[in-house]
């Protein structure tokens, strides 16, 4: 890691910590998940989560490398920290808390935003290289399946499906499903988190049955581009392009390179990346300086 900007890193850590700790302190039922006498450890859940969030800051491939970089460059910020193995065990027990933080960051970013305009999209989370497709079965018992990408390439693993608000590009909700599950299945779950609105859809969301279900059950109107080149088509296409740009930005944070050997570890890692993305989009944290990237 070259040219560490200490002030920039410390500011980013503090901004993340203030948001996470404030939420956990304000929602004691979310924080009080332990069922043991050791319910108030010196090394807090907020600190556990904040160290992991620095993966988005350093743009590293693994949480282990993230932990090493945080300790190497900001050791004094976590005087009661646990060792790596204990830290990662603690982290993997917090997916519910991280998921709630994702939602809290989204709500902060959408404060005062009256438009209920959304786009849904999905991207594959491959668990191995194509050369290993014939023998890999990692996380098969947790639902990993063979699927096909939008470009027609086979992969083994999962798909992450997300609902993105327009035009803020904030991720409202996300789901991790087997790689062979269709976008239409995910659309029903994602739409439940909107409270109604307009869903800008692409080819993966066609079908009269889905249209009727979204309208009747989720108060959501699905809108798809027509084959023409009129103003309506251009507006929907532009919004879809913005959503795809948001996904591309999220994936540049290494969401397509997640190293985990359990479903909970995989899902927690992805949620952390989405949380850091939403913190940026909602202007809760400042953008890291490019020179601090790994």
Question: pLDDT truncated to tens, each residue of the chain (294 aa)?
Answer: 444 556 788 999 999 999 999 999 998 888 666 555 556 678 999 999 999 999 888 888 888 999 999 999 998 999 999 999 999 999 988 999 999 999 999 999 998 887 888 888 888 888 877 766 666 677 888 888 999 887 888 888 899 888 888 878 899 999 999 999 988 888 888 888 888 888 887 777 888 888 888 888 888 888 876 555 555 455 666 666 766 666 666 666 555 566 677 888 888 888 998 999 999 999 999 876 554 444
Coil, strand, or helix at residue 168?
coil
Burial call 35-51: b when 16+ CB within 10 Å, e when fewer: eeeeeeeebbbbbbbbb
- Candidates 145, 153, 7, 34; CA nearest to 93 is 34
In CATH terms, 115-258 corresponds, of 2.60.40, 2.20.130, 3.30.420, 3.40.50, to: 3.30.420
Q: Do residues 163 and 197 touch, judged by C-beta distance below 8 A? A: no
pLDDT at 2: 43
List the structure tokens of 287: 């953008």
pLDDT at 275: 94
Which neighbouring-strand residues pair with 199? 118, 222
Q: How many CB atoms lie within 10 A of CB 4?
A: 16
Pairing of strands 117-126, 145-148: unpaired
Which neighbouring-strand residues pair with 157? 126, 145
- Candidates 49, 161, 27; CA nearest to 98 is 49
Which neighbouring-strand residues pair with 117? 166, 198
d(CA 225, CA 200): 8
pLDDT at 68: 95
**For the chain, domain boundaries:** 115-258
Please tell me the pTM assigned to this model: 0.84
pLDDT at 247: 65
Coil, strand, or helix at residue 120?
strand
- For residue 194, give every residue at least 6 positions away whose Cβ sits within 8 Å of its Cβ, in sequence order, or none: 116, 118, 163, 172, 218, 219, 220
Q: Do residues 244 and 222 touch, judged by C-beta distance below 8 A? A: no
Which neighbouring-strand residues pair with 164? 119, 171
d(CA 182, CA 87): 35
List the structure tokens of 222: 């699905």
d(CA 63, CA 98): 15
């Amino acid at each position: 890691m070259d040219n560490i900007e200490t002030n920039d890193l410390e500011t980013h850590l503090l901004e993340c910590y203030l948001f996470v700790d404030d939420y956990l302190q304000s929602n004691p039922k979310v924080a009080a998940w332990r069922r043991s006498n050791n319910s108030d450890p010196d090394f807090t859940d907020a600190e556990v989560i904040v160290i992991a969030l620095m993966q988005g800051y350093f743009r590293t491939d693994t949480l282990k490398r993230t932990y090493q970089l945080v300790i190497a460059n900001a050791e004094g910020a976590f005087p009661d920290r646990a060792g790596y193995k204990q830290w990662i065990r603690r982290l993997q027990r917090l997916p519910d808390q991280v998921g709630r933080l994702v939602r809290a960051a989204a709500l902060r970013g959408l404060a005062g935003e009256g438009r209920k305009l959304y786009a849904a999209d999905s991207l594959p989370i491959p668990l191995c290289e194509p050369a290993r497709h014939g023998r890999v079965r990692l996380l098969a018992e947790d639902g990993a399946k063979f699927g096909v990408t939008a470009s027609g390439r086979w992969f083994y693993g999962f798909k992450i499906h997300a609902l993105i608000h327009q035009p803020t590009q904030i991720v409202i909700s996300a789901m991790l499903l087997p790689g062979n599950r269709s976008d239409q299945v995910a659309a029903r779950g994602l739409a439940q988190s909107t409270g109604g609105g307009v869903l800008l859809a692409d080819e993966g969301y066609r079908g009269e049955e889905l249209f009727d279900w979204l309208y009747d059950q989720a108060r959501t109107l699905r809108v798809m581009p027509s084959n023409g080149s009129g103003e309506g088509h251009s507006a929907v296409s532009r919004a879809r392009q913005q959503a795809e740009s948001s996904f591309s930005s999220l994936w540049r944070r290494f969401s397509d390179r997640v190293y985990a050997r359990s479903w909970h570890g995989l899902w927690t890692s992805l949620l952390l990346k989405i949380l850091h993305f939403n913190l940026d989009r909602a202007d809760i944290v400042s953008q890291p300086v490019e020179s601090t990237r790994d």
